[in-house]
Amino acid sequence: MDRLEEGLRKTFRCGKTKEVGWRKAQLRGVLKFVEENESKIFEALKQDLGKHPVEAYRDEIGVVKKSAENCLNNIEKWMNPKKGKLPLLLFPSKGEVLPEPLGTVLIFGSWNFPISLALDPLIGALSAGNTVVVKPSELAPACSSLLYSTIPLYLDAEAIKIVEGGSDVAEQLLERRWDKIFFTGSPRVGRIIMSAAAKHLTPVTLELGGKCPVILDSFSGSDFKVAVNRIAGGKWGPCAGQACIGIDYVLVQQKSASILVELLKNCIKRYYGDNVKNLQSICRIVNKQHFERVCNLLEDPGVAASIVYGGSFDRENLMIEPTILLDPPLDAQIMTEEIFGPLLPIITLDKIEESIDFINEKPKPLAIYAFTKNDKLKKQILQETSSGSVTFNDAIIQFICDALPFGGVGQSGFGRYHGKFSFDTFSHEKAVLHRSFFLELEPRYPPWNDFKLEFIRLAYSFNYIGLLLHLLGLRTPNRSR
Amino acid sequence: MAIIDAESVVKELRSTYTSGKTKSYEWRISQLKAIMKILTYHEKDILEALRSDLNKPEHEAFVHEIAGVSSSCKLALKELHRWMKPEKAKTTIVTFPSSAEIVSEPLGVVLVISPWNYPIYLGLDPIIGAIAAGNTVVLKPSEMAPATSSVLSKLISEYMDTSAVKVVEGAVPETTSLLEQRWDKILYTGNGKVGRIVLAAAAKHLTPVLLELGGKSPVVVDSNININVAARRIISGKWGCNSGQTCVSPDYLITTKEFAPKLLSALTSEIEKFYGKDPMQSNDLSSIINAHHFDRLTKLLDDDKVSGKVVFGGRRDKTKLKIAPTIVLDVPGDSSVMNEEIFGPILPILTVNKIEDSIGIITAKEKPLAAYLFTNDKKLKEEFIRSVSAGGMAINETNLQLVELNLPFGGVGESGMGAYHGKFSFDAFSHKKGVLIRNFLGDVTARYPPYSSRKLQFLKAVLSYDILGIFRALLG
């Protein structure tokens, strides 16, 4: 561990990672990695999660490609200093903000998107000029192993290291000093990471989760069907519900509940099939521990009684059927904890506006999804709820919009990335003020007297005319006290 | 103050926040205006409190504390409308058709812990940011500056909305009790030791933290410059700012062996112009905050490795808690004065053979909050900016980078995390919520199972912004 950190710091100190040429070469390396190993990546994801190649492309390979290309296209622009406008008072002077790398950073990947949640932050760290350690999740061992064995063939092994292992390795890593830690995972582990970081004053970005709700307003026609398609896709599409921005539960008006359930059932049958032993195009649960955890959510009799579709499982293959529940008890675990699985509770309300209070009673989630055509409701949702992000009339897709910061608030985390936000998150923005020796202002210096004080008062009000008059002795000071 | 009180303070502020009133533009403006009133009508009380706590000269107090807060507040009053507007974000074919924006929302209930050296400025400036962003806020001023702590408490409760803005006075027990509560953001200004404590406490609640710490801010002085102007700016940044008890004050100076005598001569001559032949008699120099820090500083001076190297000053008076502007020359690198942040009126000058060697000395230490270079050499300037990492920098100047509200003010590494000032304050106390707005037009079935190779082709094209590829995939 010592040698690992020391080696990376030495590489950073030699300065090569700051060069734009080096950074671009690494970004191209990441692109080549995903392009040349597409089938190996598909294979590893199938092994770890039963992820279908199309899902794998959409959520993992495609995301990484898009991020890397976006960085390559913009990196010179991002690396340029930002000019600051300075007031006349400081003339002649120039101010600018220079992004610089933080140094040596640590990234923890997650098991549900083991390729993209390791490589996407890595892309950010590299574009900002850092040296990096990536620790992929041990719960996705095939992907972890693929990254470990193959990334060094594409990236500068003196600057980027993949470290495999479980919580013991994570603990050892956390004892070292890093210039930044980027973590994707649960709030419980987030606290552990942040406490460890505190010892070294290491800044952290925590991408956590939460119960991401859908507010489904009532409207008729084919648009409602489109909404339900998107809800179904947003629940079971990403990793069978095991996603931080995955839909957790739906809030809908009582009168639309039954049509919602019917349409969802149709989606499920169309997309995934209706035999738990032969489900298509949907991931399995990652491991036995999470499988039992999710099944246990259905143990509560009140919860079991609310199942209106699904509920069966295939323990041998770690498959849980897409399950719909209608109004389970609100104090049951399924409604108090992040589900992170293919169970979809539907909560009915008299009026859809009640969804706002309902959501506000829970911790701030990573995303809120609202399907509505009502502008007033949209405005209310935006102003009266708080979440990492809000998406209207769709779900999950905000993840690939690079112009939007991706991150949480409150219990769903802090810090953000994607697009330029990734570059910024792994940078220090250094303010630089340039002055010349020309034009000295005597009143800056002691010994102090009333003339100088008045000068300073006028200066701070940017009262240039008053200043001029004062300097020429043509002004009587304003004594307002 | 008992633990139960900290809890009920937070509870009350949360309830105020939930009521929604702090989100309105009008409320925020009213609170900012209240701060302006405090500065306008109570300037005398504030200056007196600063004289009492720090023996801070009125002119220094006015410039650094009152004018500092007032310009920050005026900027917020002028710009708040613009800051509160959502920012449009550009969408691409990947999410077509859609529109996107980034909405700023308050975090909720925030805690500001301020230090003793600029108790007004570093207390009120963060509050300005917190309020501008629509939060409720608790200020915990430093107990080491009791007169200002008291005057802040009195004036804030008189002029501001106490259901949303509170001052909690006290020392370690009160701070500990506050840190046990759940906040939506904490801004702490102070030292690294307590910074770690704050961060560890925040970790329990996943509270984001902004830490403004310190460090040994170096000033490198090249030859071939206007030596008197440089000397004045260095003196002003060191002794003219609370007798060196300032997070961005030049801590130590590096120059060439050749240039050192001239520089020293310029410094001593200008110090005399500013503070007279006997600076101990000058009314224009702040005192040391308390006996503990006085002893700490005199110990640094009396250390074996340092005491023989005093080339200017060195006088001290414990009864008045005053230490004269003191310069020490070429102390060993392992002396304590070179290993901890001095935070006082002692200036070590280190000499090197070539001025470029200064960069290696600086980068071997922890990243400071500020770094300064006086030079007319473009190449040296570029090398310095490129190689030295610090919170912020100034070329041919000291401390003023702090005053420029268009520049972010914050540290890196041991000198802190996060930044504020100007709009950066508003942003520091906001959550930037991403909003993606879609409609029901053009639902793309390639998104949904059952998956097929044609759908895969389509997705590949979309995610590569490949318009032609998209058409090809759509048309089969």
pLDDT digits (tens, 9 = 90+) for B290-336: 999 999 999 999 999 999 999 999 999 999 999 999 999 999 999 99
Here the tokens at position A188 are 């419980």
**3-state secondary structure at position A73:** helix
CA dihedral for B261, B267, B270, B271, sign (positive or negative) = negative
Q: What is the percent of chain B where pLDDT is above 70?
A: 99
CA distance B388 to B376: 18
Task: Decide if B91 and A403 are in contact by the 8 Å CB cutoff.
Answer: yes
> What integer pLDDT is reported at residue A93 of this predicted model?
81
The identity of residue A211, as a single letter, is K
Alpha carbon of B409 to those of A214, A345, B239, B416: distances in Å? 39, 47, 21, 10
Best A42, A177, A194, A279 residue to mutate vs chain B (most B CBs within 10 Å): A194
Tell me which chain B residues have a C-beta less than 8 angstroms from the C-beta of A280. 449-450
Q: If you search the block for the tokens 């600018």, which residue do you land on? A: A96
Give the Cα separation of A240 and A50 in Å (integer).
10
CB-CB under 8 Å, A432 with B401: yes
- CA B287, CA B53: separation in Å to the nearest integer? 9
Category of A166 on φ-ψ map: left (φ > 0), alpha (ψ -120 to 50) or beta: beta
Q: Classify residue A365 by its DSSP letter.
A: P
Whole-angstrom CA distances from A99 to A26, A429, B209, B362 are 19, 4, 21, 19
Evaluated on CA atoms A189, A195, A199, A205, the torsion sign reads: positive
Substitution target in A201, A361, A373 with the highest count of B β-carbons within 10 Å is A201
Q: In this model, does residue B2 exceed pLDDT 70?
A: no
Verify whether residue B158 is a known catalytic residue. Answer: no
| CA separation for the pair A245, A279 (Å, rounded) | 23
Neighbour order of strands in the sheet with A160-162: A160-162, A131-135, A104-108, A180-184, A204-207, A413-414
Cis previous bond, A447, omega within 30? yes
Q: B351 in helix, strand or coil?
A: strand
Helices (H) and strands (E) in chain B, counts: 18, 18
Residues in chain B with CB shorter than 8 Å from the CB of A415 are 208
Backbone angles phi, psi at A420, to 5 degrees: -65, -25
3-state class (DSSP) for residue B313 = coil
Question: Does B33 reach chain A within 8 Å, measured CB to CB?
Answer: no
d(CA A468, CA A107): 56
Question: How many contacts does A have with B, using Cβ atoms within 8 A?
Answer: 294
For residue A481, the model assigns a pLDDT of: 36
CB–CB contact B419 A429 (8 Å): yes
Residue from A77, A381, A448, A462 to probe the interface with B (highest B Cβ count within 10 Å): A448
Residue A351 to residue A333: CA distance in whole angstroms: 25
A460 with B70: Cβ contact below 8 A: yes
Show which of residues 356-375 on chain B sit within 8 Å of chain A, judged by CB atoms: 363
Interface contact A85-B406, CB threshold 8 A: yes
Q: Encoding tokens for residue A8?
A: 């990376």
Give me the half-sphere count of Cα atoms (radius 13 Å) on the Cβ side of residue A286. Answer: 23
Do A402 and B67 count as a contact with CB atoms less than 8 A apart? no
DSSP alpha helix (H) spans, A20-140: 20-36, 38-49, 53-56, 62-79, 116-127
Task: Give, rounded to a whole angstrom, the gap between the first and last alpha carbons of chain A.
Answer: 65
Are A272 and B200 an interchain contact pair (Cβ–Cβ within 8 Å)?
no
What pLDDT score does A1 carry? 81
CB contact under 8 A, A432 and B394: yes
- The DSSP code sequence of B198-267 is HHHHHHHTT--EEEE-----EEEE-SSS-HHHHHHHHHHHHTTTGGG-STTS--EEEEETTTHHHHHHHH
pLDDT of A88: 64
Contact A437 B396 (CB under 8 A): yes
Contact B448/A271, CB-based, under 8 Å? yes
Of the candidates A180, A176, A183, A125, the one whose C-alpha atom is nearest the C-alpha of residue B412 is: A180
Q: Where are the beta strands (DSSP E) in A185-322?
A: 204-207, 213-216, 249-253, 307-309, 313-314, 319-320
Q: Given an 8 Å threshold on Cβ–Cβ distance, is A460 in contact with B103?
A: no
- A244 an active-site residue? yes
Q: Out of A207, A321, A338, A454, which one is annotated catalytic?
A: A207
Kindly report the nearest CA distance between residue B334 and chain A, in angstroms.
22
Which residue shows structure tokens 């102007």? B229
Distance CA A202, CA A215 (A): 38
Question: Measured between alpha carbons, how far is A203 from A194 in angstroms, rounded to an integer?
Answer: 8
Collect all residues of chain A within an 8 Å Cβ-Cβ radius of residue B409: 431
CB neighbourhood size of A442 (10 A): 10
**Percent of residues, chain B, with pLDDT higher than 90:** 87
ipTM comes to: 0.93
**Averaged pLDDT score across all residues of chain B:** 94
> Contact, B222 vs B258, CB < 8 A?
no
- Distance of residue A402 Cα from the nearest chain B Cα, in angstroms: 8
Token duo for residue B374: 């006086």
Q: Is the peptide bond before B97 cis (omega within 30 degrees of 0)?
A: yes
CA B247/CA A231 separation, integer angstroms: 52
Q: Which of residues 306-345 of A touch B (CB under 8 A)?
A: none
Dist CA A341 CA A238 (whole Å): 10
The amino acid present at A414, given as its one-letter code, is F
Per-residue model confidence as pLDDT tens for chain A (481 residues):
889 999 999 999 999 999 999 999 999 999 999 999 999 999 999 999 999 999 999 999 999 999 999 999 999 999 999 987 776 666 778 899 999 999 999 999 999 999 999 999 999 999 999 999 999 999 999 999 999 999 999 999 999 999 999 999 999 999 999 999 999 999 999 999 999 999 999 999 999 999 999 999 998 889 999 999 999 999 999 999 999 999 999 999 999 999 999 999 999 999 999 899 999 999 999 999 999 999 999 999 999 999 999 999 999 999 999 999 999 999 999 999 999 999 999 999 999 999 999 999 999 999 999 999 999 999 999 999 999 999 999 999 999 999 999 999 999 999 999 999 999 999 999 999 998 887 677 777 888 888 888 887 787 777 778 878 887 887 765 544 3
Q: What is the pLDDT of residue A438?
A: 73
CB proximity A82 to B under 8 Å: no
Determine how many CB atoms are found less than 10 A away from the CB of residue A60.
27
Residue B461 — very low, low, confident or very high, per pLDDT cuts 50/70/90?
confident
Region label for A323, one of left (φ > 0), alpha (ψ between -120 and 50) or beta (otherwise): beta
Shortest distance between the Cα of B436 and any Cα of chain A, in A, equals: 5
Q: B112: which strand partners?
A: B139, B187
- Terminal Cα-to-Cα distance of chain B (whole angstroms): 73
Separate counts of helices (H) and strands (E) for chain A: 19, 18
CA distances from B272 to A447, B328, B347 (A): 10, 17, 16
Contacts of A451 in chain B (CB under 8 A): none
Q: Let me know: does B131 contact B108? Beta carbons within 8 Å.
A: no
Summarize pLDDT for A137-166 with one digit per residue, the tens: 999 999 999 999 999 999 999 999 999 999
The residues pairing with B220 across neighbouring beta strands, listed in sequence order, are: B254, B373
Which of A256, A248, A209 shows the shortest CA–CA distance to A231? Answer: A248
pLDDT (mean) for B40-58 = 95
Nearest to A377 by CA among A365, A367, A390: A390
Strands (E), B307-387: 310-312, 316-317, 322-323, 326-329, 346-352, 370-374
**Chain A residues close to B417, C-beta within 8 Å:** 201, 203
Amino acid at A152: P
Distances (CA, A) of B136 to B205, B319, B438: 18, 42, 33
Taking contacts as CB-CB distances below 8 angstroms, the residues of chain B near A388 are: 433-434
**Which pLDDT tens digit goes with each residue over A55-97?**
999 999 999 999 999 999 999 999 999 987 776 666 778 899 9
The two tokens of residue A341 are 């699985």
* Contact in structure between A312 and A215 (CB atoms under 8 Å): no
Q: Residue A157 and residue A163: Cα distance in Å, rounded? A: 12
Once rounded to an integer, what is the mean pLDDT over residues B239-260?
97
SS3 B422: coil
3-state SS class at B452: coil
Q: Of these residues, B212, B270, B341, B414, which one is catalytic?
A: B212
Q: Does B105 touch chain A (CB under 8 A)?
A: yes
Q: Which of B63, B67, B440 sits opposite A393 (nearest CB)?
A: B440
d(CA B435, CA A392): 8
Considering only CB atoms, which chain B residues are within 8 Å of A190? Answer: 206
